[in-house]
Structure 1
């Protein structure tokens, strides 16, 4: 493992591509109402932007892991930055809704290539103890992109307009891609070209086997559901429905809504390094923290739906948005689980599997809210209130699955301890723990 200045500088450059990916991903958070006007669309059609963008992102996570394992982070990051830049340029200029949809889908494709690539670079160049800190710092770097996509982007849209704002974002990605191509160190050997149909079939079967083996591990599934549950509501609000809710239901201006989103992003940025340090020092707390925050967010959603009527007061809403935003850094614990339970050769694949979770949940919430709004006749304070029940259902389901797999991982660790086998993290039996009487095929620590 390398901890040299070159490795740190390389990670910083890779993380900058992730920063821009976060900017692109959440740019509709403050531009959603403008997008409705620009393209002449309703709430359901607006939600399709996120459905395509995040849907493509989620679908590409496992292929991305395989690509990173095969080609290395530098090549994949160059492709990511180039695709995102080109897609954002198209989105800035086209007036037609179908073409804009395709641009957002391409943006999701490029975005999908970034985070796992940064994680693979960090895993290759830094020690296991430093890895959770690097994951947290990567997440914190991404929050800078989130910040840029809140109040700053809202003000930019107001003063210079749609096309210049998104053209500038696209140009930044193209510049970043060039910098990565020239400067990022990459020790991955060039892949051997696949020359025959038999080799191609063998490669496909190998990929399927990797994914199947990663998914078979309870630790990977725990990471998947931790990611699914922790980040879903906060991301759905950040990428699309936060500003419409704050403007229509609470009465904020667009700039005020951007400021609320920015406060949440800043809170997440402050929490990220502290959480990364805590997870690195005490890995046994990572799942309980994710579980606890998810329960708080679900209860907050229920409170907004039931306690305040159609127009909730600003104070509780701001507190809720900040808590939901903390799901971003908390969800980073899922990637520490992926590292613990998978071999280094397949870490990119396992990280991709885990990363699917949160974005599947985000798509379900974002698209579900749009459908509920259309069923109620449009975006009103009352319809937004009841649409939040979609998030309650999705995140509540995730909490249940997270508990199931956490108990299974603990049971496996306890069984190994009883047999005298080493585990990286010791587990103390509790009254709620499951009993395991035989091997489960799991390897790695309990939580």
Structure 2
């Protein structure tokens, strides 16, 4: 085997092991999507208290993205993925045994911490192992394979919860996560050893003190902000629907059975798996299409939700619900465009930090969307269709705000690059002037 072929084989093996941890993370993250109503019964909590699970889990996830980017640039993806898998495993074991709401909150907080270390580490590994033109495809396939975890968190998890119960189900999930951590430790290639002097505490302190400078360097680039707001808009309704409020909306608002609601979520996950790789291939081959494609999908999602919520004062037809979920689900694969923008506009030294900045956005948006649904339902004092219509109208407004910001920063980014090209300065990307570009 040639040296180049051997390197490719090692890269693919390492990427596959890293994706296994990400798959487990997606499963853990989305497990409340079908277990939310059971969690409310088990811990005797309200809709707002149920939203706190997502607030805590995704809040910690979002807050850790920039530190994770810095840590993975400093320590490498292997170490962080081992810590991530073990943390998530312990969290699920604790969640399985939890009998009270505070203990369950602690478990979800730990889960958010472990989850936070995962995706950026996988992308950092891929950025160092694959060529730039293959990176968007690898990111999309990573997201697609991660959706297998989401797939298991639909009908299979529903069947397990009804068949063997809460505690055995989440105990098994925790043990599988620990196994994935052991696989990373044994199989993922080790990062090159750091020079001895760089291991000293003074170097780590200097690294920590540079956090603001690194984040500012990434954030100052308009391309990073386009990626941030694109991820914000694309993930908001999609993630809020998948991780918490999709099943309650369909069961309590649309009068579906839990099995039927689980089937709709299963359909949405299968759709994400199918469309993810083609999106990655398209944006890898034709980068100019990526932001317009994301804007189009987000606009269709926002308008679709507003139209359906305004038109139907009774449960909507099943085919229309499926169509709405189809459009909403596309936001997940589309959000990967934000990471391609982060990679293109930022140098290798801070690409992990920039990826973390972008990854914060979608989870902050999902937190706000989830909380807005819970608060609206509690204020209305009921879980009727009318209450859900109002709650989801508020949640979709979060996505509309992100869409407006995406368009704004995209136009500004194009103007800055076009100006630099005109002046003969080096630019991270090359673009062609269009009629809509700002002068």
> What TM-score do you get using the length of structure 1 for normalisation?
0.94
SS, match of residue 388 in structure 1: helix
Distance 2:356 2:191 in 1: 21
Distance 1:37 1:303 in 2: 33
Counterpart in 2 of 1:137?
141
Q: Would you say 1:193 and 2:190 are equivalent positions?
A: no
Counterpart in 1 of 2:290?
286
> What TM-score do you get using the length of structure 2 for normalisation?
0.96
Counterpart in 1 of 2:370?
366
The answer on whether the counterparts of 1:43 and 1:379 sit within 8 Å (CA) in structure 2 is: no
Counterpart in 2 of 1:75?
79
Alpha-carbon distance change, 133 to 24 in structure 1, aligned in 2, over 3 angstroms: same
Residue deviations 1:107-140, cap 9 Å, x none? 0110000000000110111111111111011001
The answer on whether the counterparts of 1:42 and 1:378 sit within 8 Å (CA) in structure 2 is: no
Counterpart in 2 of 1:155?
159
Counterpart in 2 of 1:348?
352
Residue deviations 1:191-218, cap 9 Å, x none? 733435xx56533221211011111110
The answer on whether the counterparts of 1:132 and 1:280 sit within 8 Å (CA) in structure 2 is: yes
Counterpart in 2 of 1:14?
18
1:314, distance to aligned residue in structure 2 (A): 1.8
The answer on whether the counterparts of 1:283 and 1:425 sit within 8 Å (CA) in structure 2 is: no
The answer on whether the counterparts of 2:78 and 2:191 sit within 8 Å (CA) in structure 1 is: no
Distance 1:163 1:26 in 2: 17
Find 1:5's aligned residue among 2, 5, 9. Answer: 9
Counterpart in 1 of 2:384?
380
1:332, distance to aligned residue in structure 2 (A): 0.3
The answer on whether the counterparts of 2:59 and 2:363 sit within 8 Å (CA) in structure 1 is: yes
The answer on whether the counterparts of 1:250 and 1:313 sit within 8 Å (CA) in structure 2 is: no
1:310, distance to aligned residue in structure 2 (A): 3.9
The answer on whether the counterparts of 1:407 and 1:434 sit within 8 Å (CA) in structure 2 is: yes
Find 2:117's aligned residue among 113, 117, 133. Answer: 113
Counterpart in 2 of 1:93?
97
For these two proteins, the number of residue pairs brought into alignment is: 433
Find 1:184's aligned residue among 158, 175, 188. Answer: 188
1:300, distance to aligned residue in structure 2 (A): 1.5
1:76, distance to aligned residue in structure 2 (A): 0.1
**What do you get for the CA RMSD once the two structures are aligned?**
1.4
The answer on whether the counterparts of 1:18 and 1:114 sit within 8 Å (CA) in structure 2 is: yes
- Structure 2, unmatched stretches of 5+, are none
1:253, distance to aligned residue in structure 2 (A): 1.2
1:156, distance to aligned residue in structure 2 (A): 1.1
Counterpart in 2 of 1:445?
none
Distance 1:176 1:201 in 2: 31
